[in-house]
């Protein structure tokens, strides 16, 4: 019934392929690039929000076939029912509930259990088999509450933006929109890079109030807060900003990873469940089987086994076959 070639497969549905799929039916859980691969051969299912984000982020000579599945709407596939549930990660992100006969399978994909500035946290979903994303499934990844981190960032921006240029950095999709909200809460309208601006506009289209922002366009000296994607921030950019703006620059990176490099400070603002939240999710669901996926999948499966759960790892990008279990 199950087979594995690319991504996680359930019956005839491929979920979040990691290379261009040949499968006919593909489900995207959300629009982050490591979960999105397109092809001419497939029909892609996702929430309306995710489809809008994918279309904006992927400019190609051909237009793939997309089909919308709104949250909470049951959709019939060959041999099973599919329902998408919000999981608090980014706009349009979802967990997949796959019902077949008298069994329920839940694929969390990337999720956040705590409420954020923009979204409610994921609610644990009853499941016989739970496929659990374990990006931060190691004990060193225990974060302060989202509220605590956001408040610390608001205070930091407020103190520094009075007489300095504040550079905030976070992924263009998901993290950057929270940074806009944080800048607004601190009393500032930020400038944002074009890639962030495009994502912001889609958030706005779908009714998510992230606050005020302006597109970076030779107008740096009129603003006190700048938001950029991490991959564009290096020592050369910081030196250029100093030369052009003449103000002292302070920089902060929003990430759950232990990473700093050229940034002055790192704030553990994460779109993922941390170690304790992952354990809490499993305890609330109490499934018959947990399959751990991504990140620390082997370590976290061993931890769940010690806690009395039937848990086994899925090897990311190698072995992802539900039928083998």
Domain range annotation of the chain = 8-140+272-324, 146-267
Task: Summarize the confidence of residues 165-189 as an average pLDDT.
Answer: 98
pLDDT band at 2, cuts 50/70/90? very low
pLDDT-based confidence at 155, cuts 50/70/90? very high
Give residue 177's pLDDT: 98
pLDDT at site 107: 96
Residue 299 has pLDDT above 50, yes or no: yes
Predicted confidence band at 210 (pLDDT cuts at 50, 70, 90)?
very high
The region of weakest confidence among 58-72, 166-180, 194-208 is 58-72
Please tell me the distance from the alpha carbon of residue 69 to that of residue 72, in angstroms, as a whole number. 9
The pLDDT assigned to 61 comes to 66
**Three-state secondary structure string covering the chain:** CCCCCCCEEECCEEECCCCCCCCCEEECCCCCHHHCCCCCCCEEEECHHHHHHHHHHCCCCCCCEEEECCCCCCEEECCEEEEEEECCCCCCCEEEEEEECCEEEEECCCCCCCCCCCCCCCCCCCCCEEEEECCCCCCCCCCCCHHHHHHHHHHHHHHHCCCCEEEEECCCCCHHHHHHHHHHHCCCCCEECHHHHHHHHHHHHCCCCCCCCEECCCCHHHCCEEEECHHHCCHHHHHHHHHHHCCCEEEEEECCCCCCCCCCEEECCCCCCCHHHHHHHHHHHCCCEEEEECCCHHHHHHHHHHCCCCEEECECCCECEHHHC
Number of residues in the chain: 325
Q: What percent of the chain has pLDDT over 70?
A: 94
Question: Under 8 Å CB-to-CB from 218, ≥6 apart: which residues?
Answer: none
What is the average per-residue pLDDT within 6-25? 88
Residues 109-136 have a mean pLDDT of 96
pLDDT averaged over every residue in the chain: 92
Give pLDDT, residue 78: 85
CATH for 146-267 is 3.40.50.12650
pLDDT score of 150? 97
Mean pLDDT, residues 213-217? 97
pLDDT for position 315 = 67
8-140+272-324: CATH architecture: 4-Layer Sandwich (3.60)
Comparing 33-42, 81-90, 165-174, which segment has the lowest mean pLDDT? 33-42
Confidence of residue 324 (pLDDT cuts 50, 70, 90): very low
């Amino acid at each position: 019934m199950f087979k594995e070639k690319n991504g996680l497969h359930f019956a005839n549905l491929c979920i979040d392929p990691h290379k261009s799929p040949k499968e006919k039916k593909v489900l995207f859980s959300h629009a982050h690039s490591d979960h999105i691969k397109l092809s001419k051969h497939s029909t892609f299912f996702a929430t309306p929000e995710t489809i809008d984000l994918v279309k904006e982020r992927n400019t190609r000579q051909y237009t793939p076939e997309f089909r919308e599945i709104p949250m909470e709407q049951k959709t019939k596939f060959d041999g099973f029912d599919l329902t998408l549930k919000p999981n608090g990660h980014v706009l349009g992100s979802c967990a997949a509930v796959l019902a077949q006969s008298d069994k329920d399978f839940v694929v969390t994909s990337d999720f956040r259990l705590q409420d954020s500035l923009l979204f409610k946290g994921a609610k644990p979903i009853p499941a016989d088999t739970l496929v659990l994303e374990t990006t931060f499934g190691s004990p060193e990844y225990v974060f302060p509450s989202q509220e605590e981190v956001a408040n610390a960032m608001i205070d930091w921006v407020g103190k520094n933006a009075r007489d300095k240029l504040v550079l905030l950095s976070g992924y263009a999709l998901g993290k950057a929109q929270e940074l806009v909200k944080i800048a607004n809460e601190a009393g500032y309208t930020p400038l944002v890079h074009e890639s962030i601006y495009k994502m912001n506009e889609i958030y706005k289209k779908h009714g998510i109030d992230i606050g005020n922002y302006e597109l970076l366009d030779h107008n740096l000296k009129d603003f006190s807060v700048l938001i950029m994607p991490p991959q564009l921030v290096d020592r050369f950019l910081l030196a250029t900003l100093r030369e052009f703006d003449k103000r002292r620059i302070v920089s902060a990176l929003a990430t759950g990873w232990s990473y700093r490099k050229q940034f002055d400070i790192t704030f553990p603002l994460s779109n993922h469940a941390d170690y304790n939240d992952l354990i809490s999710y499993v305890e609330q669901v109490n499934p018959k089987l947990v399959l751990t996926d991504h990140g620390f999948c082997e370590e976290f499966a061993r931890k769940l086994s010690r806690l009395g759960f039937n848990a086994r790892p899925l090897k990311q990008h190698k072995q992802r076959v539900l039928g083998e279990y």
